[in-house]
Amino acid sequence: MNIFHGNILFSKNSRELAVYEDSYLVADHGKVEGIYAVLPEQYQGAEITDYGSDVIIPAFSDLHVHASQYVERGLGMDMLLSDWLNQYTFPQESRFADMNYARPIYDAFIDDMIRHGTFHACIFATIHREASSYLIRRMEERGLYGFVGKVNMNTGAPDYLRETVEESLLETERFLDEFKDNKTAKPIITPRFAPTCSEDLMKGLGTLSKKYHAGLQTHLVESRWEAEEAMRRFPGYQCDTEIYERAGLMDNGPVVGAHFIFPSEADIRILNRHGGFAVHCPDATTNIIAGIMGVSALQSQDVRVSLGTDVGGGHSLGLYTQIARSVQLSKLKWFYEPEQNKPIAFPHAFYLATKAGGSVFGNVGSLEKGYVFNALVIDGMADENIPLTPAQTVERFCYIGTTDNIKARYLNGRLIG
Ligand code: GUN
Ligand code: FE
């Protein structure tokens, strides 16, 4: 049993924050038992961890991030997707064949993700099974929640970062099989995107998806170039998303499509049919993609939207910075395309990064009764001249906060360093 005192804040839904000022949160066996303005009789006399006027919020869920690109953050950001992949990312990712290169980078990535308050993430590794296995093993050992993918690519990339279809399927099956019983960090099938995977590879992955009941993460209609390239390589398909549906990759677990910036009606219909997530990655969108997801337009069509950092397309592991950026970008989108794209408000953006994204992993991303107590304590945003409400504290943290403003981190109910 743990009892915390402070200001407690989480999302009720996409419109409303739940805020409990000067209250007590009781956690039992790592799960939220309840929040009380006055501590009930049965808990009187128990030890209380007092966070005063600090704000206790759910830890963040990053639904699209490349652990293998952690070392290239902030480089090549003046390029567009295809050049950035060929000039920076593919040569860099090829080095994960060497475990002496991979290990310290994946360890540093995990440490830094925790430092930024992200305890739940959908992660791309590289095509290399051994390094991918190291990453998912370390995530599981540290109690982090995730879907981790060994990447598949057999075409449309330099030969130093390409597998044969047979190799790709064999190594993916070994990966899925080895980690199928993981508790919190689970394997997911990860065809990089349509331009780097042939139809026979996609279909083979579909068979593995069924056999291992594994979900799908990929990049989906992320740029005009990608959407056109997908249709050129897959004649007879009506849209990017249909490639995955026809391969049987959308029936057996979560479906997580990064970017989803230029979807046709068919893309939206197919993603919704499988309850898939569209991941908005504000920094990556402005760095290397040059398109803005229409968050409010997609949500009015019932698409499940969430947030991602897309490091190294994005340059910061702080998902909280993407909350601020998604509000900013929604205004630009509205300015240029006012009809369907209303700007989003801060509570909406916070919801995408917590409760919406967290739902992929189970009961994380909220502090309602029954949710896992994966939480952060935010402080240091106060202003001597203007007192801040808890919601203003968190909003300001998302704009000008740093990891120093995360005063404490709780994972599965336990304080972590
Ligand atoms: N599309 C294919 N690969 C990538 C990648 O590594 N990052 C981003 N942002 N888009 C991609
Ligand atoms: Fe990406």
Is residue 206 lining ligand 1, measured as CB closer than 6 Å? no
Ligand 1 atom nearest the C-alpha of 193 is 2
Is residue 219 lining ligand 1, measured as CB closer than 6 Å? yes
pLDDT of residue 145 exceeding 90, the answer is yes
pLDDT of residue 254 exceeding 90, the answer is yes
Paired sense of beta strands 190-191 and 151-152, if any: parallel
pLDDT of residue 405 exceeding 90, the answer is yes
Angle at CA 303, nearest 5°, toward 302 and 308?
A: 145
pTM: predicted TM-score of the whole model, two decimal places: 0.98
Is residue 284 lining ligand 1, measured as CB closer than 6 Å? yes
Tell which one of 65, 81, 240, 262 to mutate to probe ligand 1, the residue whose CB is within 8 A of the most ligand atoms.
81
pLDDT of residue 165 exceeding 90, the answer is yes
Tokens standing for 278?
Answer: 């569209």
pLDDT of residue 166 exceeding 90, the answer is yes
The string over 26-65, giving b where at least 16 C-beta atoms fall within 10 Å of a residue's C-beta and e elsewhere, is bbeeeebbebeeebeeebeeeeeeebeebbbbbbbbbbbb
Is residue 163 lining ligand 1, measured as CB closer than 6 Å? no
Paired sense of beta strands 255-259 and 375-378, if any: unpaired
- Are the CB atoms for 124 and 133 separated by under 8 Å? no
The pLDDT of residue 224: 93
The pLDDT of residue 388: 95
Ligand 1: residue whose CA is nearest its atom 7: 313
pLDDT tens profile 213-224: 999 999 999 999
Q: How far is the CA of 155 from the centre of ligand 2 (A)?
A: 18
Q: In the structure, what pLDDT confidence band is assigned to residue 417 with cuts at 50, 70 and 90?
A: confident
Ligand 1: residue whose CA is nearest its atom 11: 219
Q: How far is CA 132 from CA 148, 150, 181, 183, in A?
A: 8, 6, 16, 17
pLDDT tens profile 278-287: 999 999 999 9
pLDDT tens profile 35-50: 999 999 999 999 999 9
Q: What is the mean pLDDT of the chain?
A: 97
For residues 299 and 383, what is the distance between their CA atoms, to the nearest angstrom?
Answer: 35
The pLDDT of residue 114: 98
Q: How far is the CA of 394 from the centre of ligand 2 (A)?
A: 27
Is residue 186 lining ligand 1, measured as CB closer than 6 Å? no
Nearest to 143 by CA among 367, 366, 373: 373
Q: In the structure, what pLDDT confidence band is assigned to residue 375 with cuts at 50, 70 and 90?
A: very high
Mean of pLDDT values over 234-252: 98
Looking at the chain, the whole-number percentage of residues with pLDDT higher than 70 is 100
Is residue 308 lining ligand 1, measured as CB closer than 6 Å? no
The pLDDT of residue 383: 85
Ligand 1 atom nearest the C-alpha of 226 is 1
Mean of pLDDT values over 196-203: 98
Rounded to the nearest 10 degrees, the angle between the axes of helix 199-212 and helix 165-178 is: 20
Tell which one of 68, 71, 89, 94 to mutate to probe ligand 1, the residue whose CB is within 8 A of the most ligand atoms.
89
Q: In the structure, what pLDDT confidence band is assigned to residue 386 with cuts at 50, 70 and 90?
A: confident
The pLDDT of residue 297: 96
The pLDDT of residue 384: 83
Place of tokens 């992200």: 118
pLDDT of residue 340 exceeding 90, the answer is no
Mean of pLDDT values over 333-345: 94
Place of tokens 């929040």: 35
Mean of pLDDT values over 215-240: 97
Is residue 193 lining ligand 1, measured as CB closer than 6 Å? yes
Ligand 1: residue whose CA is nearest its atom 9: 313
